[in-house]
A and B are shown apart, each in its own frame.
Chain A
Amino acid sequence: MSQKVPAVAAFILSVSFLFQPLLAQERSRPERIGGKPNLNGIWQAANEAHWNLEGHSAEAVAEFSQALGAIAAIPAGQSVVVGGEIPYLPGALAKRTENRAGWPAADPEAKCYMPGIPRANYMPYPFQIVQGEGDQILFSYTFANASRPVFMRDHQRAPVDLWMGRSNGSWDGDTLVIEVNSNIENTWFDRAGNHHSAAMVVTERFTKIDDHVMQYEATIEDPETFSRPWTIRMPLYRRIEADARLLEFNCVKFSEPLLYGEFMSRDAAAEANQ
């Protein structure tokens, strides 16, 4: 027993050292890391793009209005698509209509699937960028505990299609550019059924405006779904609360009544809802 004491002390010591840089970070936040802009921090979009990338009016979600009233209403939003509209090919536009008709049950977000890129960046949840001087930058997302390493070298395609894709990063001056390939076809762009195929390649650009705001741009290329490449653009804001951190949102259990409700007892469904 007594032999365990030094081990426990060492563990506590190492954990406290682990957190020390985080505490120190807000106090002395370097402007640049390894000669590049410091993107570390917790970031979040503040817009309505997660409802619909395109411009849309406010509307009620009829099936929930009776229970939730105005809480269940969709807020209006301006388009974040450069030029306003997504240039769908005719067949792909029909697929969006079908997706919309099946919402919310058809939405991968309702099923707690990992959201993919670019959707993960403008969901109404914060995400964290962990940047050092090494060869990878980590993006960690609240929703579904999703994450993606951004490979600054060793650019390649993944052997199979992935929910969060394969992120190949580089710096274009002070802009972090990430090409995301190997995207699985099952993710959506928003709650409005906007979608893509496995041929999609996303080119993201993160450019700091000041230490609290960066401009985010993502260009979508997918000749199987769209008639030409198109771009979304929006600011992302840094959460500056002194104790800002990602909190757990393990949505698996929240999705189970929707996915498996017919197999669950009423008690189990109620428990999953808690």
Chain B
Amino acid sequence: MTRHSLSWAALAATLAVAAPALAHHSFAAEFDINQPVQLKGEVIRMVFTNPHSRIFLKVTTESGEVQEWSIEGGAPNALIRRGWNRDSLPPGTQVTVLGYRARDGSLSASGGSVTLPDGSSLNATDTGVGAPQ
């Protein structure tokens, strides 16, 4: 085992938390592929939790209503491999998120691409759970 792979394995082990196993689920169990959604808003905070990371987003609708959305993303280890880190989405960042709405109509979605103010984008897709890639 190379040093590189050992350190990633160790990181993955360190990120593992006891409780959230109960929250692990397939894409189709919670989200609807027929309800794509585009959300423009301000990052409240992002948490790197297993098995899914989460972005909390303040979105103001056309009618002026302020909504708080919860955007579910891939596991921290997957996101870190794609270039995410603790400084990727500081609170207050204006972002555009493409995702799929929850089946239960709640203000939550499975996230895909997250576009930053400078036009660059990061991929938050949850892989391995049947989410559209």
Q: List chain A positions with a Cβ less than 8 A from chain B.
A: 111-114, 135-136, 144, 147-149, 151, 154, 158-164, 251-252, 255, 259-260
Contacts and interface: CB of A to CB of B under 8 A. Distances in A.
A169 to B, nearest CB: 13
A259 B6 contact: no
Contacts of B22: 260
A76 to B, nearest CB: 31
Contacts of B14: 114, 147-148, 162-164
Given A160-B15, A160-B85, A162-B15, 12 more contacts: A111-B18, A113-B17, A136-B6, A147-B13, A149-B10, A154-B7, A158-B11, A159-B80, A160-B76, A161-B86, A163-B17, A260-B22
Interface string B27-39: 0000000000000
Contacts of B56: none
Contacts of A158: 11
Interface centre among A154, A159, A164, A252 (most CB of B within 10 A): A159
27 contacts: A111-B19, A113-B17, A113-B18, A114-B17, A114-B18, A136-B3, A136-B6, A144-B18, A147-B10, A147-B13, A148-B10, A148-B14, A149-B6, A149-B10, A154-B7, A159-B80, A159-B84, A160-B15, A160-B48, A160-B76, A162-B14, A162-B15, A163-B17, A164-B14, A252-B18, A252-B19, A255-B19
B19 A162 contact: no
A158 B76 CA distance: 12
Interface of B: 3, 6-7, 10-11, 13-15, 17-19, 22, 48, 76, 80, 84-86
A193 to B, nearest CB: 20
B85 A159 contact: yes
Contacts of A135: 3
Instruction: Report whether over half of chain B's contact residues are helix, strand or loop; otherwise say mixed.
Output: helix
Nearest to B3: A135
Instruction: Report whether over half of chain A's contact residues are helix, strand or loop; otherwise say mixed.
Output: loop
B5 to A, nearest CB: 12
Contacts of B84: 159-160
Given A159-B86, A160-B85, A259 B19 contact: yes
B50 to A, nearest CB: 10
A158 to B, nearest CB: 7
Contacts of B7: 149, 151, 154
Nearest to A250: B18
Given A159-B86, A160-B85, A160-B86, A255 B18 contact: yes
A149 B5 CA distance: 13
B1 to A, nearest CB: 11
A112 B20 CA distance: 12
